[in-house]
Homo-oligomer: A and B are copies of this chain.
Amino acid sequence: MSGPVAIGQAAKETGIKVPTIRFYEEIKLIQPLVRTDGNRRQYEQADLRRLSFIRHARELGFDLDAIRNLLTLQDDPNQPCTVADGIAKARLADIERRIHSLTALKKELKVMIEGCSRGSVSDCRVIETLADHSLCVDDHNHGS
């Protein structure tokens, strides 16, 4: 029932910061919108939904280009779903790659930290491991 809201309220409702909303407008993720007499932006419910969509997609790690694609799809709901599906799948693959890589890093860091003698830097395993790649537990670069 609530009518159009100002940018501050929109920020509150969507969890996107005010300057970020303006930035999204600037790069045309959201349409140039209606202003009040005093030149203030007004956000309708549909705009708020669009912003929430963007926020949620960002939280899932989609980049703005992917989001732009998804929004275009959403604007034209008779298009086939396969494009959205593809974007999401690419994202999933990327996330899986990253989890894999981070897990390897975690292992290496743990070994480093556990080997730390807490003496002086001269026999610190952390520094030493970083300095000499050949000490790595396993080489996460040959794995990708």
Q: Which chain A residues have a beta carbon within 8 Å of chain B's beta carbons?
A: 49, 52-53, 56-57, 59-61, 70, 73-74, 76-82, 84-85, 87-89, 91-92, 95-96, 98-99, 102-103, 105-106, 108-110, 112-113, 116-124, 126-127, 130-131, 133, 140-141
Contacts and interface: CB of A to CB of B under 8 A. Distances in A.
Contacts of A88: 109, 112-113, 116, 126
A81 B130 contact: no
B120 A77 contact: yes
Contacts of A49: 131
A52 B89 contact: no
Contacts of A116: 81, 84-85, 88
Contacts of A133: 52, 56
A70 B127 contact: yes
Given A77-B121, A95-B106, A99-B102, 14 more contacts: A53-B130, A60-B109, A77-B120, A78-B122, A80-B121, A81-B117, A81-B124, A81-B127, A85-B116, A87-B126, A88-B113, A92-B106, A92-B110, A99-B106
Contact of A80 (B102, B106, B120): B120
A85 B118 contact: yes
Given A56-B133, A70-B127, A130-B60, A109 B84 contact: no
Contacts of A110: 92
